[in-house]
Amino acid sequence: MISFILIILTSIFFTGILIRAKSKAAGRKGPSILQPIKDIIRLFKKGSVFSTTTSFIFQIAPSIYFASVIMAIMVIPLGTYKGFISFEGDFVFFAYILGVGKFFNIISALDTGSSFEGMGASREALFSMFAEPAFFILLGSFALLTGHSSFQEIFLSLHFGSYISYILGVLATVVLFMIALVENSRMPFDDPNTHLELTMVHEVMILDNSGFDLALILSATNLKFAMYGALIANLYMGSFPLYLTIPIFFGVQLSFAIAIGLLESFTARFRMNHNAQYILILSSVSLLIFLGVLLVLGQFN
């Protein structure tokens, strides 16, 4: 329950810190850190407008998408404290409950009958499909290393005591960092500030959403960023007491937000037709982690 509260709190500031980091890198003052959440609150106060071509699927999809992210967050632990939901194999539940939300988000874009939103939906489905193996290979490797299959037991049992294990921790951080960018359609895979429908991914999918529904989608995006930041933080918490795990948690989240802001400031967007290849590289990195686990376990002797 502690991790759930901390992730909710972090999501309030995450996008604001990210935008502020981009502003500072560009030599601008930038908006207030709380400006993104103020915009979302303003949207929550507005009603939603639905096209006559859409069905009930379009109307329920934002709520299901938001609920799926909330359910996924409930699985994430905080050091020695279990998530609100914890059981053997919960990382599989985590991935597939997010998949349910993504599915409804995709079919709601198709439900509008717009060819542009259909293109964005197909790209979103493709990128998520290529990112999913990287996540499962990564968590499967750590499950093999620790002998456990739940998030809390996996993170608690990780011990970075050798050079190989330190390398595994760094590679796992890189994989989770890049998966977060793919799942949230950020640079260098997608540009959230673009206005050209032919090259948009997530933004073009939600063009028909407005008011309360748009606020749910934007809130879910903020929560997903904080959610992946929490997974990265758990890699380094171990069994530290609470007065140390909370500063580690917020420190990792702050570094995560600033890193994304700097990355988006100094990198160009990948070419659309090469995105799938770049995302598949994440699976290759996860395979390196798997080989490293086999080395640690002495399976090559």
- pLDDT greater than 80 at residue 263: yes
Reading the block at residue 229, the tokens are 């930041």
Given this model, what pLDDT does residue 104 score? 92
Distance CA 158, CA 165 (A): 9
Identify which of 25-34, 175-184, 271-280 has the greatest average pLDDT.
175-184
**What secondary structure does DSSP assign to 65-98, as a single string?**
HHHHHHHHHTT--BTTBPPSS--TTHHHHHHHHH
Does the pLDDT value for residue 217 go beyond 70? Answer: yes
b/e sequence 70-81, b meaning 16+ C-beta within 10 Å: bbbbbbbbbbee
The reported pLDDT for the residue numbered 251 is 92
Q: Residue 200: left (phi > 0), alpha (psi -120 to 50), or beta?
A: beta
Question: What would the mean pLDDT of 218-227 be, rounded to a whole number?
Answer: 92
- 22 has a pLDDT exceeding 80: yes
Task: State pLDDT tens for residues 232-256.
Answer: 998 888 777 888 888 999 999 999 9
DSSP designation for 47: P
In the chain, what are the domain boundaries?
Answer: 2-296
Instruction: Report the candidate in 98, 67, 73 with the shortest Cα–Cα distance to residue 4.
Output: 73
pLDDT in tens, 115-145: 788 888 888 888 888 888 899 999 999 898 8
pLDDT bracket for residue 49 (50, 70, 90): confident
pTM of the model: 0.90
Q: How far apart are CA 140 and CA 135, in angstroms?
A: 8
Q: Which of 33-42, 113-122, 231-240, 287-296 has the highest mean pLDDT?
A: 33-42
Secondary element (H or E) of residue 171: helix 163-183
User: For residue range 177-208, what is the model confidence (pLDDT) as tens digits?
Assistant: 988 888 887 777 777 777 666 667 777 788 88
The span from the CA of 62 to the CA of 120, in Å, is: 16
